[in-house]
Homo-oligomer: A and B are copies of this chain.
Amino acid sequence: MTIKLTDVAKLAGVSPTTVSRVINNYGYLSQKTIDKVNQAMEELNYQPNSLARSLQGKGTKLIGLIFPSVANPFYGELIETMENYLFEKGYKVILCSSADNKEKERDYLRMLTANKVDGIIAGAHNLGIAEYEKVGLPIVAFDRFLSDSIPIVSSDNYAGGKLATEMLYQSGARKIAILTGTNQSDSPTNSRLQGYLEAIQHYELEALVFDCLPDMSKNLKALTIQKLLKNEEADGIFCTDDLTAVLVMNEAKKIGLAVPEQLKVIGYDGTRFIQDYFPQLSTIRQPIADCAMLLVNLLIQRIETKEELLEENYTLPIKYVKGDST
């Protein structure tokens, strides 16, 4: 919980106005009062500077972005777009790359709270709900359920998973597998799997679900893919992210499987990067710019109006982008 001005006032046994005067050196103050307030601030471990700012009603104009990685083109593009919007609105970005590391994410939450950022946009997913709830700062989440009071922005993962599977079916695939990038049931990304299962059931096909998790090494991922291609004889693969789809195409090439003739592949994300450098890949495109703008606008709304009455879920539409892999 964030310590407030009133907490200092209460402990010092003075009015909030007096605390404000001590900090800003306004008006008449006895040495006794000054000492009492300073002692209370020390006891509560209050930083005079952040106090001074919040007393003036000014924020720090710093926003913390907690995401698993910037080296991944999807997060890189999302972060860059958010940073651009935030810059236009006078905010600077503190970058927290949580690296799928619980301890680092926890440390960052503590540092951000102590440093008094004005708010947080979080797309990481290591920590439980409790730790995000106790931060006491405006937060919005990208594609992650963090807490009942934290709104989520995401693309329509369910529709995306369903559409990807339908497109594989329509291009002729009948043994359609999914390579999922998450096994967390509380993540909206999991809805991509639900959409896949729905379509599989509709077409009366057999579900083939394989994990290809972010914390798996590249070699481990390659092994999973090889097993899927050789043992399962899948003729269509839906990967819940584009990079895994690129790995599938590389592995298929290695063993002489022709894409799309023998194997259809579809990814998910559709970054500008993938469109520029892997135009051959068919994919489900998330509206990254829209997600970025909405995340920033929701956060600023929360910061400026202190409104908690935001809708819980904001789901943005996805699009199928056809390459040469389906």
Chain A residues engaging chain B, CB cutoff 8 angstroms: 22, 24-25, 28, 31, 34, 38, 47-50, 52-53, 62, 65, 69-73, 76-77, 79-80, 83-84, 87, 92-97, 99, 104, 107-108, 111, 115, 218, 243, 246-247, 250, 271-273, 276-277, 279
Contact = CB atoms under 8 A, between A and B. Distances in A.
Contacts of A218: 276
Contacts of A76: 69-73, 76
Contacts of A97: 80, 83-84
22 contacts: A25-B25, A47-B49, A70-B80, A71-B76, A71-B80, A71-B271, A71-B272, A72-B76, A76-B76, A84-B99, A87-B108, A92-B94, A92-B96, A93-B94, A93-B95, A94-B95, A243-B276, A243-B277, A246-B277, A247-B276, A250-B277, A250-B279
A243 to B, nearest CB: 6
Of the candidates A47, A277, A279, the one having the most CB atoms from chain B within 10 angstroms of its own CB is A277
A103 to B, nearest CB: 11
A34 B21 CA distance: 12
Contact of A104 (B31, B87, B108): B87
**What copy number does this chain have within its complex?**
2
Of the candidates A48, A83, A246, A271, the one having the most CB atoms from chain B within 10 angstroms of its own CB is A48
A12 to B, nearest CB: 13
- For the complex of A and B, the 8 pairs showing the least CB-CB separation, nearest first, are A49-B49, A95-B95, A71-B76, A71-B77, A71-B80, A76-B76, A93-B95, A70-B76
Given A71-B76, A73-B71, A277-B243, A94 B52 contact: no
Contacts of A28: 31
A83 B95 contact: yes
A183 B285 CA distance: 35
A276 B65 CA distance: 26
A38 B25 CA distance: 8
Contact of A53 (B24, B34, B49, B272): B49
Contact of A48 (B31, B52, B72, B87): B52
A83 B108 CA distance: 12
Nearest to A24: B48
A24 B49 CA distance: 10
Contact of A34 (B25, B71, B95, B108): B25
A185 to B, nearest CB: 28
Contacts of A273: 71, 73
A247 B278 CA distance: 9
Of the candidates A47, A93, A272, the one having the most CB atoms from chain B within 10 angstroms of its own CB is A93
Contacts of A47: 49
A324 to B, nearest CB: 11
Contacts of A107: 87
Given A49-B49, A93-B94, 16 more contacts: A49-B50, A49-B52, A69-B76, A70-B76, A71-B77, A71-B271, A71-B273, A76-B76, A83-B97, A87-B104, A87-B107, A92-B96, A92-B115, A218-B276, A247-B276, A247-B277
